[in-house]
Structure 1
Amino acid sequence: MRIWALFFACLYFNTYGQRYTSTWYNIDNGLPQSSAKAIVKDKYGFIWISTENGLVRYDGSSFITFNNFKVNNLHFGEFIGDPALDSITVLNNFQENKVIIKNRLPKVTQLHSTDKIAFTRGNEFVHRVANNILACNFYNDIHYFIKLKNSTYSFGKKNLIIYKDAKGSETRITIPFSYKDLNTVFVFNDVLYINDLKNRKTYSIDRGKVSVNAKPSLFNDPNTKVYWQQITNQTFIINNSNIYLVEGKGNELMLKFLVKYDEIGSHSYCSMYYGKEFNRLYLGTLNNGLNVLRLSDFYVAKKEADFSNNVYYASLPFSKSTIIAEDGTEFGKNGIVKRFPFGDNDNYLMMYDKEENILIRKRNSVIRFYKNSGYKKKDSTFIRQGFESFLKSGNLFGASFSNFSESELHIYRNTISSKPDFVFDFKSFVNTFLQYNENEILVGNSDGLYSAVLGSNTIKPIFKNIHVKSIIRTKDNLIWIMTNKSGFYLFKNGKLIKMPNDRNNYLQSAHYILEDRKGFYWISSNNGLFKVPKKQLLDHAENKKTPVFYYRFTKKDGFLTNEFNGSSQPNAYALENGDFVFPSMDGFVFFNPDEVKTYYPDKCKIYIERVKIGNGEFQYFHDTLDLQNTYKTADIFIDIPYYSNLDNLYLEAKISGKENSGWEPVTTGKELKYTINNLDPGEYTLNVRMVVSPDGKYEEKSIKFTIEPFFYQTILFRVAVSVIILIIIMVIVQLTTNFLRIRNKALKQIVHNKNSELKETSLNLEVVKSDLRKETEYQKKLVETISHDITTPIRFIAMLSQKLYESDDLELQKKYFDSIYKSSEQLYQFTLNLKEYTELYKAENIFEEVEYPVNRILEIKKKLFCEIAKERGTTIINANEKKIYSYVNESILTAIIHNILDNAVKNTFDGNIVLDIKENERKSTITIADTGAGISAEQIAIYMNLFKNPKLETPSFKGKGLGLHMVVHLVKKIHAEISFRQNDPKGTLVEITLNKN
């Protein structure tokens, strides 16, 4: 009874309820068909919806329909099973097929008889009750039962309930109920509850033991509707449009008020599910789709009368839980509390003076509403023309004036009066000021932030080119500068530090900041209300690289508009009861910052297992994704069960592998996906991370994917090509080596031959060099001998010519003439020999092309020297009678014979000279023998030695005659042989041997 007393004590607590926003989903925006017959959440966080056209998985932003089963009947019913065991099953109509949802995917599985929820037993129809929908019908001709984990409750006729435990033992329970009362049946934590609406009683049966509570409650109220779903263990009590959720431990029941939903009876609702993690209520209908109620902790207070103006800028805290607007309306979070007769005033400025009277601007005047009259009495003070605003900061009051080109700021130590204590002139419009310290103020203008010193005209610009709307000192004594379209700044150490914008740049026009007790700032803007850890902003002020994660609240969270209002004066307040209040373009937004939840994804629930390649169908993979080389684009889907505003889902991805990328944000739209394109074949890793807590902690998930290469990009192909190229290179190298080896061998042979030739040539060159040297020496010595031999005859002729000139004797003159003649003749012959010798010495051909008779030379020379020999008493005899032929150069041989014969004639007096020639098969021998004075044995040795030793230096010709030396040289030139010996009885015998070959 104490348990029930506690239950009923809490039952009607806080019946004002939560606000909500409603979003419908049907065939037009996500569902395959406009029915949502059953709703359940699996262990992975995804919500499953049973429809008449398949099963639907919902992750908070997108729906995935599964209706490609190989079955003919896609009309599915209620869910049964156990989500905690990753086993959710559902049957289609007529129980033809069974689908099991496991590992986030449904598939058709084998249907057993025990899986059926309706069957026959004998002649009796039996039906299992696994849920109790809002409009459920129970028939007397059907036997119903509820199956628990280890027991079963069967409902018979005549008030009989049979409890059967796990061992099969039965307990028969009799209580007054009818099949109509089964509409109020539900099971909570294996305890069966039956409500008797007629007698206002509630029965609870725990393992066969019955307890009864006879006190009226919402459970047994005739206006109550019960929705119970066994698989989710959730029971909803619906009474007068108020929806409650049954909670408790064991059999201790409590009702948690969820929402007052006046439209609960307007649609054919048949399924319900409450997502506690994200504070969402899901309502499924038979024909209108799915309705998602986002339960809100925000309250909007506004005037409900027609044509009411609910645009508010200025207000003042009025009580512990209320505020008052410029029109005298006092608002609490549940709406209007009271009205004061303030009349029509400007709605931008309100302020308390030192006596807590309320000051409101009305054009160029200030209206004062007196506190001691309950703000009913008022007076008005005209300030002056151009009066724009009045302000208050610390213990200073201020007023601004403008003539549309310049403005003045008047500062008062007391209330606004006719005479200011300090006046400051500006060329821009003054919006606000803040007392920085005792003698210094910060002034926010339309063109920047200034510092002004009281008692001095010193005005120092701090930051230019920003439009300052308000200057706020939070309770932690930090100063924040709010601007129009330039974001907000922290004023620290005389400088402004820019705070980062949110990712949509909505904080470019931030209005006001309030700090809660948990270290968070709440910032209103032109597009939403933001919550951010103060520590993140201060860390960013120290290090610009520190990220800041804003949490954004929008209309989806319970506002009537996303646009909040700002003012030069404080217009957002932390009330004494702990509530915050911000003015908006449609009423005041009240909330308790300690009760408003922020929703982050579960760090363990991020799944990367779906891909769509090009325009193809979804494909599922596990851990590793293989992409064909023909892919163009691949959308890798990131499945995160997140049922709150996607603006607060911070998701980033990057690729590492053959190509790398930095972290880049994933666009949070209807589908979360990362697109891969233009990647080279190879192995990659896709890393995805998301923020899972207000302090910016990341949770990271990665998968590997491989882009298969074309055949010519595979390692095998590359290895094969490399091997082939290597073989080709080896073959080329081998062929080249063989070719080079052969060529090298040939070159070596050529080099060898050339070396031999060069050696031979070198030797020949040495011989030629020696010969040339000798020839040169020979010619040099020849010139010397010629000079000597010519000088003597010429001197002799000159001497005879002088004697001839001096003598007058004719006989003597005749004798002299004869001597001159003979000497000239001799000299002439000498010069002829010299010319012939010079030409022979230069000759290169030592053999004739046609042979000639040698006898002819002997005969010619005999005739040449015959007269000379006669004058000397000598006879020349040609003893040869047979013609003998030779190929030796005729001119050279003629010169040799001429010189030998000439010497013989010169040295023979009164004697004989015999010319002869003989031959055999190999040689021809020419003999010239005289009976003259002859040559000595010493001279013979010299000439023979000169002939036999070609390297022997040619001795000087001087004093030894020219003929024989020339003869020796010419004989060697024609490769003949010569010999000298004494003739018997006297004279000289010379033999010249010519080779026939």
Structure 2
Amino acid sequence: MRISILIIFLFHFQQSYGQYVSSWYNTENGLPQNSVKAIVKDKYGFIWLSTDNGIVQYDGSVFTIHNKLAVTNLHFENFYGNVLNDSIVIYNNNDENKILIRKRKVHSITKSTFTRTFTKEKFNFLKRISKNSPESKYGSNTKYYIKTSSGKYSFYNNRIIYTDEKNRQTKVPIVTTNLSNIFLNGEDTLFLADPKNRKTYRVDKGKLTTLTKATLFNDPETKIYWQQITGQTFIINNDNIYLLQGYKNDELQLKFLITYKNFGNQFFNSIFYDKDFKRLYLGSVTKGLNIVQLTQFFTAQKKIHFVDEVSSSSIPFNENTIIDPYGYEVNKHGLVKNHHFGVNDKHFMFYDDSGNILYKNDDDVVRRYKSTQYTTTHSIHFPGLKGFFKSADQFAVSTTDLTHSYLHLFEDEQLKTINTTLEFTGFVNSFLQYNNDEFLIGCSDGLYLGRLKQKIAAQVAKEINVKNIIRTSDGQIWITTNKDGFFLFRDKKLFKMPLDQNSYLNSAHYILGDTHGYYWISSNNGLFRVAKKQLLKYSENNKTPVFYYRFTKNDGLLTTEFNGGSMPDAYSLKNGEFVFPSMEGFVFFDPKDIKAYYPDKKRIYVERVRINDSDITYFSKDLILENNYKNADIFIDIPYYSNSYNLRVEAKIEGQDPDWQQIEIKNERKYTISNLIPGNYTLQLRVQVSPEGSYAYRTVKIKIKPLFYQTTAFKLAVTILFLFIFIVIIYTRTKFLQIRNRLLKKKVSNIKIALKESTQHLEAVKNDMQKESEYQKKLIEAISHDISTPVKFIAMMSQKLIDVREVDLQKEYFDSIHQSSEELYNFTMHLKEYSDLFGTYDVYEKHEYPISEILMAKQKLFNEVSKSQNSRIEIIGKGNIYCQFNKSILSCIVHNLVDNAVKNTSGGIIYIIVEDNQEKITLKIADTGKGMSQEQLTYYNGLYQMSMNEDIIKFRNYGLGLHMVIYLVKKMYADISFYKNYPGGTAVEVNIYKNKMNGKKNFNS
């Protein structure tokens, strides 16, 4: 009897959903309390929950708890009111407080302005019914009523009375023993199920109709859930959940939603179905909220112990079933039959042209014959078998010797006669016949285009690991890779496609095209849908936007991880269903039944803000922030109950951001501003509302208050103050100048005196400048003079080198040139010291040094020159003699005296003698050369007696060198004398006194 009743009833409801995804929410993940008493959706799309610890608003992402209300308790009950009129009312325990939900806000209503749902009449209590469930309790001493648009139904003493708007009463001639079985359909029609007598009563404004047919409504196993504000009635029968669709042809119409196992053990008290997002909300008395996502995705699972559900290749078997290499035949609901093919490679499976099934087992291609119902087999052995392929009428087998891979193309499906063999360095992963003569080969090291007639394969793209080559139903050819994204192959060129926002499509598996203008792409993290025209336009212009829609567990998939790399991978069945392999089984779905969800462009609200982590507040058009704010979270409230990955929200601040910035959607949908200086800003927000990429826009004016010194009034006041101060300063300055002018007249004489002094000072400056100029000339002349002899010597030796032919002489001349050049180089490295000769007043060093350093340096410098004149230089001294005289001056003196002696000595000896006694150091340079004339001796000795250095430098009858020596000797407070040397030559003696002044004056004093 029960079976026949159910068969009859199947004609009156539409089966809609099978599998579903269930998510529980409680105090550990968002709810304030685990007792969900009522559920309703407002006219703006937001879900509201009634709990024992406040009212909860849900937008699909976050539960917003309203428990800071001006009420006596937070134990809220059922919802009342009218959703379309934006008037949702809820009471707390004992109707102590009334809350109005309107315009997405919660308002407390004062007691003097609201009626109660539970009152005391003269002889009994009166309580309103707005919701019904198996958990509802009804007392015998309470009069209950249901308020409708045309009147009300009252229930008392097992009787029903209808009262219309004019207060006319109609007694309904039936007995009500269980109010848990009543519900409304529409505004005014009451239904009452009578399981005992298998009848259903219909009362329309007091008029009774008895439905005698046995249905699920009056089945003793049925439980009824009804809520007046939502207008929804649910029938629960043996864990099957049905939704009342209406009343037609004297019958109640039901829609099957899901089968929920162990429904009665969850203690559900309230149910709401959101048809826009195909979600079922189940509120439990003790366990919280269960959100069930109904889906048109079906994952076929075998559910055999110790057999995994991982799926790869398969082929269609019947109109709505498939078979895999193990022999499991499944449809979208699960296992149909096990054909016992055994354990085989899961990645390759085809039909041959005779309908026989081919699959891979180790190094064999196994053929199961259709003629024997696939019970008999024949194997073909290929050493090193890697895979085999079928594309159009071409069969191919790939093998490897671990050094190279080989693709063998056969003449027919028997796989006996090889037509062509091609060799590759990478592994062959995929194969597709491109045209009658050409074919594409996907390898681990690139993509190749082969030609059958020429028996060659040319590489089209390298450094990509090709996973699959797919020709979709529209004729387009796609290349998927293991980590390099996916490509369109057109006109023998590759066009790289854009990735999704998280780059999951970097390892896309397979692509199928439906008849509704979309491609479906499987990946390791979700199933993607994209408009065909967007990808094809992108291949022509890579500035064209592409919008992917991602399906995940939230949409009904058991896993987001699909499988790829098998042949074949995905395909469509004759009934229009697509089949994709995944880690949890084969996923079946009909593309036309899968809905992509986008926000309603009219249901996007920007009205809430949280400043500096404080409580959330509302604002209207403009958001005003104090100047000391740190950050402000502006919430984008969107009732969106699908996967937030597909919610694309972008923002930019005019004048600050040149481009739109996508907001990362996490738990809260918000845009955070910080570090904006005081001023006025315009925040623009846009939300994608269609698969084509159209947007809905929202604008928020933001004003950040300035500090007092940043206000216009303050700036104006400061400007006025500065103007006033400026005027005062000008006036004061004028008076001051007048007074000062009078004083200046008195100071004319003083100024004249000052001018005179200035003139004198300028004269002194002029003299100093002349001295400085003369000093520069002296410096240049000194340097030129001191390097002339070595340079002249090098030039002379170079000429001799040119003229001479003997090797020994050439070597000797080369050595002389080299030695002189090196010493000349060393000399020039110390030219900086010459800058101190004439300008310095300090004739002493800070530390002592041996005089022998200077003497030996000069000996080396002039040694080669003297050799060229058959002379030699000897140094005669008693040990190391140390002194603190200015090293640069002493070096210059020795240099010029030795230079003069070398020039005038040929075939003789130049002696450099240094002696030290208590008072002075005596330096003597004597030569055996031609010597000075008496006139020259008299001249130089007389020159030393001059008092002004200018006279010495200007008087140059006998050259610069000795004049400079005399000048420097006087600078050092020393004595110099010139006399004849015996038996020949000239001797020059310099006495340098250890006592600085020694009663003498130098030219600088």
**TM-score normalized with structure 2 length:** 0.71
1:49-87 CA distance string (max 9 Å, x none):
111111111111101111111223111111111111111
User: Is the radius of gyration larger for structure 1 or structure 2?
Assistant: 1
Cα offset for 1:738? 7.2
**What is the alpha-carbon distance in structure 2 between the residues aligned to residue 587 and residue 192 of structure 1?**
46
Cα offset for 1:558? 2.1
Q: After the TM superposition, which parts of structure 1 deviate over 6 Å for at least 4 consecutive aligned residues?
A: 5-8, 249-252, 737-751
Cα offset for 1:521? 0.8
**What is the alpha-carbon distance in structure 2 between the residues aligned to residue 740 and residue 661 of structure 1?**
57
Cα 1:749–1:544 shift into 2, 3 Å? farther
Cα offset for 1:356? 1.5
1:643 aligns to 2:629 (yes or no): no
Aligned amino acid, residue 200 of structure 2: T
Cα offset for 1:703? 1.1
**What is the alpha-carbon distance in structure 1 between the residues aligned to residue 516 and residue 139 of structure 2?**
57
Aligned amino acid, residue 357 of structure 2: I
Cα 1:257–1:749 shift into 2, 3 Å? farther
Alignment partner, residue 288 of structure 2: 289
1:351 aligns to 2:350 (yes or no): yes
2:720 to 700, 718, 723: 723
1:392-442 CA distance string (max 9 Å, x none):
112211111111121111112322533311221111111112111111111
Alignment RMSD, CA only? 2.4
Alignment partner, residue 35 of structure 2: 35
Cα offset for 1:649? 0.7
Deviation larger for 14-23 or 364-373: 14-23
Alignment partner, residue 995 of structure 1: none
Aligned amino acid, residue 120 of structure 2: T
Alignment partner, residue 701 of structure 1: 698
Cα offset for 1:13? 4.9
Alignment partner, residue 622 of structure 1: 620
1:589-624 CA distance string (max 9 Å, x none):
111111111111111111112222223222221121
Cα offset for 1:557? 2.1
Secondary structure in 2 matching 1:85: coil
Alignment partner, residue 341 of structure 2: 342
Aligned amino acid, residue 321 of structure 2: T
Aligned amino acid, residue 719 of structure 1: L
Verify the 8 A CA contact 1:7 1:252 in the aligned structure 2: no
Alignment partner, residue 61 of structure 1: 61
**What is the alpha-carbon distance in structure 1 between the residues aligned to residue 650 and residue 745 of structure 2?**
74
Alignment partner, residue 45 of structure 2: 45
Secondary structure in 1 matching 2:716: helix
Cα 1:235–1:741 shift into 2, 3 Å? farther
Aligned amino acid, residue 320 of structure 2: S
Cα 1:620–1:661 shift into 2, 3 Å? farther
Cα 1:454–1:182 shift into 2, 3 Å? closer
1:418 aligns to 2:382 (yes or no): no
1:562-610 CA distance string (max 9 Å, x none):
1111125222111000111111111111111111111111111111122
**What is the alpha-carbon distance in structure 1 between the residues aligned to residue 98 and residue 708 of structure 2?**
44
**What is the alpha-carbon distance in structure 1 between the residues aligned to residue 392 and residue 746 of structure 2?**
113
Cα 1:284–1:202 shift into 2, 3 Å? same
Alignment partner, residue 152 of structure 1: 152
Cα offset for 1:467? 0.3
1:100 aligns to 2:100 (yes or no): yes
Aligned amino acid, residue 468 of structure 2: S
Alignment partner, residue 379 of structure 1: 378
1:960-983 CA distance string (max 9 Å, x none):
xxxxxxxxxxxxxxxxxxxxxxxx
Aligned amino acid, residue 419 of structure 1: T
Cα 1:395–1:746 shift into 2, 3 Å? farther
1:121 aligns to 2:118 (yes or no): no
Verify the 8 A CA contact 2:348 2:359 in the aligned structure 1: yes
**What is the alpha-carbon distance in structure 1 between the residues aligned to residue 72 and residue 542 of structure 2?**
61
1:580 to 578, 581, 605: 578
**What is the alpha-carbon distance in structure 1 between the residues aligned to residue 7 and residue 660 of structure 2?**
52
**What is the alpha-carbon distance in structure 1 between the residues aligned to residue 151 and residue 47 of structure 2?**
28
Alignment partner, residue 365 of structure 1: 364
1:533-573 CA distance string (max 9 Å, x none):
11111122122122211111112222222111112522211
- Listed as ranges, the matches of 1:509-908 within 5 Å are 509-657=507-655, 659-733=656-730
**What is the alpha-carbon distance in structure 2 between the residues aligned to residue 377 and residue 135 of structure 1?**
60
Deviation larger for 692-701 or 660-669: 660-669
Aligned amino acid, residue 586 of structure 1: E
**What is the alpha-carbon distance in structure 2 between the residues aligned to residue 382 and residue 678 of structure 1?**
72
Alignment partner, residue 253 of structure 1: 252
Cα offset for 1:745? 12
Verify the 8 A CA contact 1:185 1:194 in the aligned structure 2: yes
Alignment partner, residue 214 of structure 1: 212
**What is the alpha-carbon distance in structure 2 between the residues aligned to residue 501 and residue 676 of structure 1?**
29
**What is the alpha-carbon distance in structure 1 between the residues aligned to residue 139 and residue 607 of structure 2?**
46
Aligned amino acid, residue 657 of structure 2: N
Secondary structure in 2 matching 1:123: coil
1:356-394 CA distance string (max 9 Å, x none):
2111111111110011111111111112x1121111112
**What is the alpha-carbon distance in structure 2 between the residues aligned to residue 309 and residue 634 of structure 1?**
50
**What is the alpha-carbon distance in structure 1 between the residues aligned to residue 65 and residue 561 of structure 2?**
36
**What is the alpha-carbon distance in structure 2 between the residues aligned to residue 420 and residue 314 of structure 1?**
25
Alignment partner, residue 298 of structure 1: 297
Alignment partner, residue 73 of structure 2: 73
Alignment partner, residue 391 of structure 1: 389
Aligned amino acid, residue 160 of structure 2: I
Cα offset for 1:16? 8.2
**What is the alpha-carbon distance in structure 2 between the residues aligned to residue 10 and residue 18 of structure 1?**
15
**What is the alpha-carbon distance in structure 2 between the residues aligned to residue 696 and residue 111 of structure 1?**
50
1:870-928 CA distance string (max 9 Å, x none):
xxxxxxxxxxxxxxxxxxxxxxxxxxxxxxxxxxxxxxxxxxxxxxxxxxxxxxxxxxx
Verify the 8 A CA contact 1:181 1:196 in the aligned structure 2: no
**What is the alpha-carbon distance in structure 1 between the residues aligned to residue 478 and residue 528 of structure 2?**
15
**What is the alpha-carbon distance in structure 1 between the residues aligned to residue 6 and residue 737 of structure 2?**
109
Alignment partner, residue 310 of structure 1: 309
Aligned amino acid, residue 549 of structure 1: F
Cα 1:744–1:474 shift into 2, 3 Å? farther
Deviation larger for 728-737 or 70-79: 728-737
**What is the alpha-carbon distance in structure 1 between the residues aligned to residue 415 and residue 320 of structure 2?**
32
1:502-554 CA distance string (max 9 Å, x none):
11111111111111110111111111111111111112212212221111111
Cα 1:219–1:568 shift into 2, 3 Å? closer
Secondary structure in 1 matching 2:434: strand
**What is the alpha-carbon distance in structure 2 between the residues aligned to residue 655 and residue 337 of structure 1?**
59
**What is the alpha-carbon distance in structure 2 between the residues aligned to residue 615 and residue 568 of structure 1?**
52
Cα 1:573–1:342 shift into 2, 3 Å? same
Verify the 8 A CA contact 2:349 2:568 in the aligned structure 1: no
Secondary structure in 2 matching 1:115: coil
Aligned amino acid, residue 110 of structure 2: Q
**What is the alpha-carbon distance in structure 1 between the residues aligned to residue 729 and residue 414 of structure 2?**
104
1:199-240 CA distance string (max 9 Å, x none):
111111112222111010011111111111011111111111
Verify the 8 A CA contact 1:7 1:253 in the aligned structure 2: no
**What is the alpha-carbon distance in structure 2 between the residues aligned to residue 317 and residue 734 of structure 1?**
103
Cα 1:404–1:734 shift into 2, 3 Å? farther
Verify the 8 A CA contact 2:466 2:480 in the aligned structure 1: yes
Cα offset for 1:249? 6.3
**What is the alpha-carbon distance in structure 2 between the residues aligned to residue 734 and residue 456 of structure 1?**
104
Cα offset for 1:255? 0.6
Deviation larger for 536-545 or 242-251: 242-251
Cα offset for 1:740? 7.5
1:854-877 CA distance string (max 9 Å, x none):
xxxxxxxxxxxxxxxxxxxxxxxx
Cα 1:101–1:181 shift into 2, 3 Å? closer
Verify the 8 A CA contact 2:395 2:415 in the aligned structure 1: no
- Listed as ranges, the matches of 1:322-341 within 5 Å are 322-341=321-340
Secondary structure in 2 matching 1:521: strand
**What is the alpha-carbon distance in structure 2 between the residues aligned to residue 661 and residue 164 of structure 1?**
66
Cα offset for 1:161? 2.2
Aligned amino acid, residue 148 of structure 2: L
Aligned amino acid, residue 429 of structure 1: F
Verify the 8 A CA contact 1:40 1:79 in the aligned structure 2: yes
Alignment partner, residue 499 of structure 1: 497
